[in-house]
Structure 1
Amino acid sequence: MDRDDFDQQVAPYRRELLAHCYRMLGSVHDAEDLVQETMLRAWRAIDSYDAERASLRTWLYRIATNACLTALKGRGRRALPSGLVGATTDAQAPIELAMDVPWLQPFPTTGDPAGALEARGSLRLALVAAMQYLPARQRAVLVLRDVLDWSAADVAEALETTPASVNSALQRARARLAEVDVKEDDVDEPTDKEIKTIVDDYVRAFEAADVQGLSRLLAERVVLEMPPAPLWLVGRDAYGEFIERVYAMRGPSWRMVTTVANDQPAVGAYVRAADGLDPIYRAHSLQVFAVSKAGITHNITFFDQSLFEYFGLPLHLE
């Protein structure tokens, strides 16, 4: 591969490498940095690339995986509130932000062509959160084997180990995920059309400050998480009471823009100043939903306005 053609040759793989690094790291910010690191390492090692031994895509994935393993050394897992503290049904519980916690982040999947991010469902927040419980090398083996469908021999070569070690690590990784119990992956999901209807109805109810209408769209045991607050609520009543609290604190003037995160429906939420003097709706949170036939089962609300840029969302609406 000619250095003059490097950028053109690697460009088609940047997006899927970003998703790969995100699965490993749980952070879209860190994933972007690691893709840049991957391209830098590839550029430096271009003279050693042998197209007869591996495709360019496979070679880049090897570099990206090892770059992620290096970055993960000494790091703790990224988490959601439900992975750190017990649930509460107290909608009036104090909200204290824990900015020192490395929180899990959502990943933008809007506009991704079919198949570009490999196995459908492999980016769901529940699964990515569960994968954070795995040691870094087990995580790498699981992604390479179960998501990218690499052979044990290929994974062994990439990680400089043996196929037997790869198979052993894969068994341990799968067993650990079973212990964590990724419940959302077992949900009997409605059709895409039904999901869109539920989310559209939720948006209309939220923008109308219609708490009762909103509550009717929730499953009985709905979960509401709000990183970076180490707090999560369980139950339709608690959810509704909390939204009433939000309207009391921030006012009833909200707008929402639908998007997609981790192959799940999501919205960017915007709020106008409660005094009504400022006509601008400003970015507030990114909310990612899990939906079943019973309604919305999970809402993870990320209070991180820097995420809006990754989702192609403006920071304010007129």
Structure 2
Amino acid sequence: MSTASADSALARARATLREHLPRRRAQWTAPAAPSRDERVILQRYMDAADRADAAVAELLRQDALVTMPPGPLWVAGRDAIEDALARTCDPASPAYFGRWRHLPTRANGRPAAAGYVQRPGTAVYRAQVLDVLRIENGMIAEITAFEPHLFPAFGLPLTLSAATGD
């Protein structure tokens, strides 16, 4: 996209936002906190992910989507997501990534899980991914994963102790 095209798109986007948002920023409402049901699903997601359990797939809609902007990661469908997780969560797999711990947070008004991984042979859990969940009708419809450099902006530590999980 050229600079002129980008400037034009931004101008149109700003005009659209001005039409839909209150004139003064102070009047904008904060996103609603995740509902009780969303918090329960988030906790189930984190518990299953910590155990590297297939229960993660049970929380996904059949047409669930995982993306990781700005990177090219795009996994569509519960079966494809489950296959990708199986390879990285199985200690017997050459693609095994390590043991996981998750902390709850929220991003853009949505429930989110801060994922930390303890790689084989290391003594701490390091920040790895921030999973923002879009939940529809009690199921995870989309997971948008962000890189760990965002953790400090959410008040999240970059490491957790392997001994305590803190």
Mapping of residues 61-210 of structure 1, within 5 Å: 74=3, 135-149=9-23, 192-210=35-53
The alignment partner of 2:20 has SS state of helix
Deviations 1:167-218 (A, max 9, x none): xxxxxxxxxxxxxxxxxxxxxxxx811111111001000001102x111111
- C-alpha distance in 1, partners of 2:85/2:79? 10
The reply to whether residue 255 of structure 1 matches residue 101 of structure 2 is yes
CA 286–235 in structure 1, closer or farther in 2 if over 3 Å, else same: same
Say if 2:100 and 2:118, in contact at 8 Å, map to a contact too. yes
- 8 Å CA contact 1:264–1:290 kept in 2: the answer is yes
Separation (CA, whole Å) in 2 of partners of 1:291 and 1:214: 13
Q: Does 1:313 align with 2:159?
A: no
Q: How does 1:229-240 map to 2 (within 5 A)?
A: 229-240=71-82
Matches within 5 A, 1:7-26: none
- Name the structure 1 match of 2:110: 264
Tell me by how many angstroms 1:226 deviates: 2.0
**2:164 aligned partner:** none
> Can you list the C-alpha shifts for 1:130-185, whole angstroms capped at 9, x where unaligned?
xxxx71111111222212247xxxxxxxxxxxxxxxxxxxxxxxxxxxxxxxxxxx
Conserved 8 A contact 2:38-2:138: no
Task: Determine if contact 1:219/1:294 at 8 Å carries over to the other structure.
Answer: no
Kept after mapping to 2: 8 A contact 1:288/1:299: yes
Give aligned-pair identity as a percent: 29
> Which has the larger share of strand?
2
**Matched residues in 2 for 1:239 and 1:253: separation?**
18
User: Are the aligned partners of 1:207 and 1:252 in contact in 2 as well (CA < 8 Å)?
Assistant: no
1:229 alignment partner, SS class? coil
CA distance in 2, matches of 1:149, 1:210: 47
Are the structure 2 counterparts of residues 294 and 193 from structure 1 closer, same or farther at C-alpha, using a change threshold of 3 Å?
closer
| Secondary structure of the structure 1 residue equivalent to 2:3 | coil
Alignment of 1:245 with 2:91, yes or no, is no
Query: What displacement does 1:298 show?
Result: 0.1
Q: Give the aligned residue type for 1:245.
A: R
After TM superposition, give the deviation of residue 311 of structure 1 in Å. 0.9
Q: How big is the shift at 1:252?
A: 4.4
Q: Deviations over 1:228-272 (max 9, x none)?
A: 431311111111111112224344410011111111111111000
Aligned length: 146
Judge conservation of contact 2:129–2:145 (CA < 8 Å) in 1: yes
Q: Which runs of 5+ in 2 are unaligned?
A: 25-33, 162-166
In structure 1, stretches of 5+ residues that fail to align are 1-72, 78-133, 151-190
TM-score by length of structure 2 reads: 0.79
**Correspondence 1:224 to 2:66:** yes
Query: Which residue pairs with 1:109 in the alignment?
Result: none
Deviations 1:58-83 (A, max 9, x none): xxxxxxxxxxxxxxx92876xxxxxx
For the 8 Å contact 2:37–2:138, the answer to whether it is kept is no
Which structure has the larger Rg over C-alpha atoms? Answer: 1
Residues of 1 paired with 2:5 and 2:101: CA distance? Answer: 36
- Per-residue CA deviation, residues 285-306 of structure 1 (Å, 9 max, x unaligned), is 111110011400000111x222
- Counterpart AA for 1:140: R
